[in-house]
Amino acid sequence: MSPQSSAPAAAAPAPVVAIVGATGAVGVELIRCLEQRRFPLSELRLFASARSAGKTLLFRGAALTVRELTEDSFRGVNVALFSAGASTSKRFAPLAVRAGATVVDNSSAFRMQADVPLVVPEINPQALRGHKGIIANPNCGAIIAITPLWPIHKVNRIERLILSTYQAASGAGAAAMEELRESTRAYLEGREYAHKVLPHPYAFNLFSHNTRVDPATGYNDEETKVREETRKIFGDPQIRVSATCIRVPVLRAHSVAITLECERPISPDEVRALLRNAPGVKLVDDPQRNHFPMPRDASGQDAILVGRIRQDISDPGGRSIALFVSGDQLLKGAALNAVQIAEVL
């Protein structure tokens, strides 16, 4: 063998990474995730709308200036992490791909396109093979609900899911989080507060998720996303899913009450055993102390908390389990999942 053929292959150069929507709630978490996980990049470029251009954000001790997003922003970019809404993604993601970047998009713009992978790395990293430049990050409610279910589904197929979500203000962005803070302060001080971001008063209230309701089915867009995205990510178009999505006055971290029905009988102990060492999941299941997943505990954690695991006593066949999960919407529900996709790439 010649010296040339025995030499190790040269390492690929560290990529140039761009964040689109860098000043938003998810954008800030993307920056933090890249730093905390020591993502191997050679340069980080931050983009946002014209009104945010000129702001500075810290990354690895350096102040980076946010630039205005334009059609020429992606020259030299290898990976572009988008979190600026569907309309921005539809306009700029194809431009980024044409400039040579791989796009990981956090909006709903491309999720259900047949040729766009919809990926949760703990579930279907193989879907990244053969991507055409755009990879979709799933809906936050779907990620948090189904990541803990995958270890179960792999060994005892889940035939039916009934989900009730308790979704935090973070799911509607930084403005909604601020509206929750301000409206709560006004409520406690006995002042009137005119809500602007969400359609109903938020302090000490909860309401159906603020997306359009389909008059034909009665389900809102969020509930439809959870159903269709679960089927695509699991690669199982026959799984039956019914969701009720509710906005609750919690700053960050979504929670979900889940009842799952498997093909064969399954016990709570079997479920605990499957989840105990599952990637991206942490068991919080202590009936003696009445300690189960809470958004307060999930906030700031990478792992999705799972507990309240019990037999669904309404199913005489023993095939159904009820459980409760909480996960940080800004992390595993958005930024962390996107960075994990980039790491797999």
Active-site residue list: 140, 254
Locus of tokens 């969020």: 222
Q: At a CB cut-off of 8 Å and minimum separation 6, what does 61 contact? A: none
The backbone torsions φ and ψ at residue 228, rounded to the nearest 5 degrees and listed phi first, read: -70, -35
**Contact, 173 vs 132, CB < 8 A?**
no
Burial-class residue 259 by CB neighbours within 10 Å (0-12, 13-18, 19+).
middle
Do 67 and 45 contact (CB within 8 A), yes or no?
yes
Give CA torsion, residues 129, 135, 139, 145, to 10 deg: 20
User: Distance (Å, rounded) from C-alpha 135 to C-alpha 146?
Assistant: 19
Query: Distance (Å, rounded) from C-alpha 144 to C-alpha 328?
Result: 8
